[in-house]
């Protein structure tokens, strides 16, 4: 038989001191810490109101006390504790902060960040400076450590900012209101970043570096603004990268996690700025895009970051407790009177609370004015939530690591920094953190409102009805149910159950009764938001539009007291911003202009379609839940008014650019078809009729199609100049050779609304053919003020009259919507006129349409373009007259002087072209605005005679049958 050699005993966590230290023991501490965290979360969830993080800190202090303050060493676990306790401060921040700060900023609501930004900046900017000064002055004057002002202010900078890690974890546990959580979380993140900049400034001063006012301000500006710029750059670059990733959640997670660490390192180490402010800016940029993830992806994204933040929080709070314990037991090496040192810790805690109170109440009027405002209860909560945590501890450890030189920072000063900071962290977390829930309850800030109580009772009654239905279905079965046992577990509806025994029976079939109009509107808006999500997940709207729709809901909820306001927010985003006029300028390439304009118009159509669809769903849901409720009827009426405005926008878009509507519908149908194929494939997978290899192959093919649709949706086909010319009612009758010549000289332009085609009195250079959209005239051709509100839709040829008579432009022409404008140079028009073959007469007849609407807007404004063209084609007669001929206006007609000059025989007045000659009667069907060159009404005429001064061209439009 073989011999059995003695070997080491099985692995023992608690080996004696003679065990060999190993760096792998650090992994053991991490594993034990996570196990402790899981146990605490499981045990404390329903048993206590003490925040989870406070319990972890106490456990960390207990572990540190056993290792550093007793004879009961913890063996390999103790070795791991010592490794973690001696971790480099910069490494500690670099490992944990990118996760915790990014997750905190990413999970915040962008809308509420915008609303509360001024409040957060006040507390994080001037608030940090004031707090640093107050704490530093108190330490200098009240503490016996003989520190100079720079050293005292250095400690003030470390302790001036609330710690975001501790604050965010606390508020999540307490379930504070969104508004209050946003202010406190945002302020804690920003002011911690600002405090690090201030800390670095005083740290440089303590080490004897330059401290002039100019260098101080320059450093503060570079440290704060530079950090934000770095975060924004990394954030925008990441979002651009994500545009090329489709339906790959793993890549999304990896990219966000990687960028957070790289951005922090770049700011903190390379740029010597604030890595925390960089992470805040980076997280907010990502937060603005989180609504663009579909339902499953968004949920997975939140779950991933919550899990990573939970692990980091567990480790950092237990480690903070260990570091505090180490500082407590090491302070005796520098101070024989430990009791006195603890007394100064309590004094410092009081100073921190006083400084925090002074800062909040100094800015209280401004905090009440900006954002959502602030009441005194919320102000007290903000004061009480000024916790200190791991960030302050890490900064104090940096001081301890840099100490040792009596000229700048002695070893005693470094140890005292860690002790005082650790004590402050301990007291703020235990005292403030443990009593915050009590304070919220005392102020009634965690209680349900009256409307919420009504909703709770309604929901319970609905659950009771469901339980009754369930019991009715199963009572007749032969299964031996014990209804007493079943009812004993349904405690959630016990207080609304009318029977003491089961199965239950209820007679309550009422509707949800909400008397508060604001609550009713909020319910409607939340139903609308869910409809938006459903529409987005169905692929009916794009990523670029869902953010606008979600923001409109948040804005409308804020203004719910004033009625439904979501369309007001959306309508502002449907308008083309002023900078879009740059794209319509000639300096911008036409393809780039076309891309920007069409993208904006497509998004606007998607938004309106989704708005109409979601409001219909929300109205029906509101009526289903509230029944014949007066307040619900009011909200439904407000919604219908908003829907009408959205429909008008879509109708205008259809009239101005029908290709956009066609593209929108095509994309939605394509996505719906591909999703139906995906569902069919899923059904076959559930039925088990396909092998795994076949499923993967088909799934990849289908995902490729969806990705192609996402990246390259159906394009909008803009008509070419030749297409517009060929379908024009007049120009389409020209010979193919003439059309070809015009097409070669034509230049197609897509104009945004309010773009000027030409101005009154400017030199005539081009004729404009409107291919899509509409244009309006702004200034009268007359020398005096005269209102001109004529609109020229698709098919109008503007500037043609001026080209034929050789005059400057008669008025301003401005686009009234997105318009496809075909520019034809004057030289081409003149070349076409020389061809003969009736071209000149055709062009003269075409220009009558524009001239009639320009000179007689009130007469023709009620007619469509097709109707005006029909009137001109069927009832107009054009004649030319030589000099000295006498002309008499015809009864029942409108006469326009297109060229030449006439003299009124009755008044002797000289009339130059263009002009409308007074008509003989007033027609009811065409309202008369018979106006001569002076702009005065001509009244009723039996006849008028004119003598031709220079050869004239006059068109007469018969209105007797109109």
pLDDT tens digits along 77-128: 888 888 888 888 888 888 888 888 888 788 777 788 888 888 888 888 888 8
Handedness of CA 10, 15, 20, 23 (dihedral sign): positive
| 286-300: average pLDDT | 66
Closest to 102 in 3D by CA, of 255, 330, 320: 255
pLDDT range class, residue 637, cuts 50, 70, 90: very high
User: What is the rounded CA–CA span in Å between residue 293 and residue 303?
Assistant: 13
pLDDT range class, residue 46, cuts 50, 70, 90: low
| CA distance to 183, 351, 357, 377, per residue, from 354 (Å) | 20, 5, 5, 17
Handedness of CA 674, 680, 681, 686 (dihedral sign): positive
| 243-251: average pLDDT | 76
Q: What is the pLDDT of residue 293?
A: 59
Q: What backbone torsions phi and psi does residue 818 show, to the nearest 5 degrees?
A: -65, 125
pLDDT tens digits along 677-701: 888 888 888 888 888 888 888 888 8
Q: Integer distance in angstroms from the first to the last C-alpha of the chain?
A: 124
Q: What is the pLDDT of residue 635?
A: 92
| 492-512: average pLDDT | 65
Q: What is the pLDDT of residue 769?
A: 92
Detail the DSSP E strand segments found in 782-875: 791-792, 797-798, 813-815, 819-825
Q: What is the pLDDT of residue 932?
A: 36
Q: What is the pLDDT of residue 15?
A: 44
Q: How many helices (H) and strands (E) does the chain have?
A: 36, 14
pLDDT > 70? residue 536: yes
Q: Is 746 or 690 the better-scoring residue by pLDDT?
A: 746
pLDDT range class, residue 939, cuts 50, 70, 90: very low
| 177-182: average pLDDT | 74
> Which tokens belong to 773?
């959209």
Q: What is the pLDDT of residue 222?
A: 73
User: What is the rounded CA–CA span in Å between residue 226 and residue 220?
Assistant: 9
Q: What is the pLDDT of residue 936?
A: 37
pLDDT > 70? residue 363: yes
What is the DSSP secondary-structure string of 595-610? HHHHHHHHHHHHHHHH
Q: What backbone torsions phi and psi does residue 282 show, to the nearest 5 degrees?
A: -65, -45
Q: What is the pLDDT of residue 798?
A: 92
Neighbouring CB atoms inside 10 A of 200's CB total 21
| 245-255: average pLDDT | 78
User: What is the rounded CA–CA span in Å between residue 735 and residue 742?
Assistant: 11
% of the chain with per-residue pLDDT over 70 = 84
Q: What is the pLDDT of residue 354?
A: 93
| 306-315: average pLDDT | 85
Q: What is the pLDDT of residue 781?
A: 57
Residue 23 preceded by cis peptide, ω within 30: no
pLDDT range class, residue 336, cuts 50, 70, 90: low
Average pLDDT, the chain: 80
Q: Hunting for tokens 């006012």 — which residue is that? A: 213
User: What is the rounded CA–CA span in Å between residue 413 and residue 396?
Assistant: 10
Q: What is the pLDDT of residue 297?
A: 61
Q: What is the pLDDT of residue 638?
A: 93
SS3 766: strand
- Where does 371-516 have alpha helices with state H? 376-384, 390-402, 411-427, 433-442, 450-474, 483-489
pLDDT > 80? residue 719: yes
pLDDT range class, residue 646, cuts 50, 70, 90: very high
Q: Is 168 or 329 the better-scoring residue by pLDDT?
A: 329
User: What is the rounded CA–CA span in Å between residue 690 and residue 675?
Assistant: 19
pLDDT range class, residue 133, cuts 50, 70, 90: very high
Q: What is the pLDDT of residue 2?
A: 45
Output the furthest CA–CA distance in the chain (Å, rounded): 144
Q: Which region among 396-405, 582-591, 787-796 has the lowest average model confidence (pLDDT)?
A: 582-591
pLDDT range class, residue 925, cuts 50, 70, 90: very low
Q: Hunting for tokens 């005083």 — which residue is that? A: 202
Highest mean pLDDT pick, 189-203, 628-642, 847-861: 628-642
| 827-835: average pLDDT | 85
pLDDT > 90? residue 586: no
Q: What is the pLDDT of residue 618?
A: 93
pLDDT > 90? residue 262: yes
pLDDT range class, residue 137, cuts 50, 70, 90: very high
| 479-489: average pLDDT | 69
Q: What backbone torsions phi and psi does residue 926 show, to the nearest 5 degrees?
A: -120, 100
% of the chain with per-residue pLDDT over 90 = 12
pLDDT > 90? residue 41: no
pLDDT > 90? residue 641: yes
Q: Is 84 or 170 the better-scoring residue by pLDDT?
A: 84
CB 842 within 8 A of CB 730: yes
pLDDT range class, residue 780, cuts 50, 70, 90: low
> Which tokens belong to 6?
């003695």
Neighbouring CB atoms inside 10 A of 864's CB total 10
pLDDT tens digits along 9-23: 344 444 444 445 567
Q: What is the pLDDT of residue 499?
A: 59
| 228-255: average pLDDT | 84
Q: What is the pLDDT of residue 788?
A: 56
């Amino acid at each position: 038989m073989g011999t059995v050699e003695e070997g080491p005993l099985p692995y023992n966590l608690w080996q004696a001191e003679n065990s060999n230290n190993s760096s792998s023991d650090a992994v053991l501490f991490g594993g034990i810490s996570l196990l402790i965290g899981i146990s605490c979360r499981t045990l404390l969830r329903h048993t206590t109101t003490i925040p989870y993080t406070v319990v972890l800190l106490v456990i960390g202090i207990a572990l540190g006390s056993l290792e550093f303050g007793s004879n009961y060493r913890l063996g390999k676990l103790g070795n791991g504790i010592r490794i973690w306790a001696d971790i480099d401060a910069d490494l500690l921040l670099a490992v944990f902060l990118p996760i915790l700060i990014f997750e905190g900023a990413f999970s915040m609501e962008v809308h509420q960040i915008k609303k509360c930004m001024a409040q957060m900046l006040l507390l994080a900017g001037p608030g940090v400076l004031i707090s640093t000064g107050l704490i530093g002055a108190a330490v200098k004057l009240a503490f016996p450590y003989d520190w100079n002002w720079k050293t005292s202010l250095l400690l003030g900078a470390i302790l001036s900012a609330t710690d975001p890690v501790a604050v965010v974890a606390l508020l999540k546990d307490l379930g504070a209101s969104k508004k209050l959580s946003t202010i406190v979380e945002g302020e804690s993140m920003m002011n911690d970043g600002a405090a690090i900049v201030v800390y670095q400034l005083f740290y440089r001063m303590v080490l004897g570096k330059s401290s002039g006012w100019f260098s101080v301000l320059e450093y503060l500006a570079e440290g704060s603004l530079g950090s934000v710029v770095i975060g924004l750059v990394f954030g925008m670059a990441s979002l651009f990268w994500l545009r090329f990733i489709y339906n790959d959640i793993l890549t999304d997670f990896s990219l966000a996690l990687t960028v957070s660490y790289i951005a922090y390192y770049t700011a903190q180490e390379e740029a010597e700025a604030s890595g925390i402010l960089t992470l805040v800016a980076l997280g907010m940029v990502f937060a603005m895009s989180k609504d663009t993830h579909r339902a499953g992806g968004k949920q997975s994204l939140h779950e991933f970051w919550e899990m990573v933040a939970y692990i980091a929080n567990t480790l950092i709070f237990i480690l903070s407790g260990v570091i505090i314990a180490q500082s407590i037991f090491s302070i005796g090496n520098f101070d024989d009177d430990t009791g006195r040192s603890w007394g100064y810790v309590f004094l410092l805690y009081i100073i921190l609370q006083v400084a925090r109170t002074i800062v909040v109440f100094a800015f209280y009027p401004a905090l009440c004015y900006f954002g959502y405002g602030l009441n005194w209860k919320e102000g007290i909560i903000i004061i009480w939530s000024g916790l200190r945590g791991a960030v302050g501890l890490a900064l104090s450890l940096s001081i301890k690591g840099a100490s040792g030189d009596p000229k700048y920072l002695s070893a005693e000063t470094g140890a005292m920094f860690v002790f005082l900071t650790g004590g402050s962290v301990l007291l703020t977390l235990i005292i403030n953190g443990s009593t915050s829930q009590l304070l919220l309850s005392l102020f009634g800030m965690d209680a349900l409102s009256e409307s919420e109580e009504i909703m709770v009772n309604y929901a319970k009654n609905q659950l009771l009805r469901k339980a009754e239905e369930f019991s009715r279905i199963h009572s007749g079965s032969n299964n031996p149910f014990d209804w007493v046992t079943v009812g004993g577990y349904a405690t959630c509806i016990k207080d609304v159950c009318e029977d003491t025994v089961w199965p239950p029976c209820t007679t309550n079939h009422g509707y949800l009764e909400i008397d508060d109009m604001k609550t009713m509107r909020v319910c409607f808006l939340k139903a609308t938001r869910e409809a938006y999500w459903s529409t987005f997940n169905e692929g009916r709207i794009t990523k670029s539009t869902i953010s606008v729709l979600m923001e409109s809901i948040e804005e409308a909820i804020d203004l719910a007291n004033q009625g439904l306001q979501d369309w007001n927010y959306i309508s502002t985003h449907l308008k083309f911003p002023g900078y879009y006029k740059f794209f319509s300028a000639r300096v911008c390439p036409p393809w780039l202009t076309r891309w920007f304009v069409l993208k904006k118009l497509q998004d606007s159509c998607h938004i309106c379609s989704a708005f109409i669809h979601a409001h219909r769903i929300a109205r029906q849901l509101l009526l289903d839940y509230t029944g014949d409720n007066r307040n619900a009827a009011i909200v439904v009426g407000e919604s219908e008014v908003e829907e009408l405005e959205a429909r008008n926008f879509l109708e205008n878009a259809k009239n101005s650019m029908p290709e956009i509507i066609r593209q929108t519908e095509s994309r939605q149908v394509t996505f719906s078809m591909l999703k139906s194929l995906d569902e069919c494939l899923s059904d076959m997978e559930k039925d088990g009729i396909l092998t795994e290899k076949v499923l993967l192959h088909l799934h990849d093919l289908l995902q490729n199609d969806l990705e192609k649709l996402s990246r390259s949706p159906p394009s909008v086909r803009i008509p070419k100049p030749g297409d517009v010319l060929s379908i024009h009612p007049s120009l389409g009758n020209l010979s193919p050779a003439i059309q070809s010549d015009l097409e070669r000289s034509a230049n197609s332009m897509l104009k945004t609304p309010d773009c000027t085609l030409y101005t009154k009195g400017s030199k005539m250079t081009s004729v404009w053919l409107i291919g899509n959209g509409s244009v309006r005239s702004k200034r009268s051709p007359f020398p005096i003020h005269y209102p001109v509100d004529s609109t020229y839709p698709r098919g109008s040829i503007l500037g043609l009259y001026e080209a034929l008579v050789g005059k400057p432009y008669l008025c301003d022409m401005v686009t009234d919507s997105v318009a496809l404008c075909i520019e034809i140079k004057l030289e081409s028009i003149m070349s076409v006129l020389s061809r003969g073959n009736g071209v000149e007469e055709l062009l003269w007849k075409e220009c009558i349409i524009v001239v009639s609407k320009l000179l007689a807007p009130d007469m023709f404004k009620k007619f469509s373009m097709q109707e005006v063209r029909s009137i001109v084609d069927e009832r107009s007669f054009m004649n030319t007259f030589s000099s000295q001929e006498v002309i008499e206006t015809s009864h029942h007609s409108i006469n326009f002087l297109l060229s030449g000059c006439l003299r009124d025989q009755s008044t002797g007045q000289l009339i130059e072209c263009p002009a409308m000659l007074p008509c003989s009667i007033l027609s009811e069907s065409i309202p008369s605005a018979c106006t001569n060159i002076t702009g005065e009404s001509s009244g009723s005429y039996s006849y008028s005679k004119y003598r031709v001064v220079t050869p004239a061209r006059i068109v007469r439009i018969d209105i007797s049958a109109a």
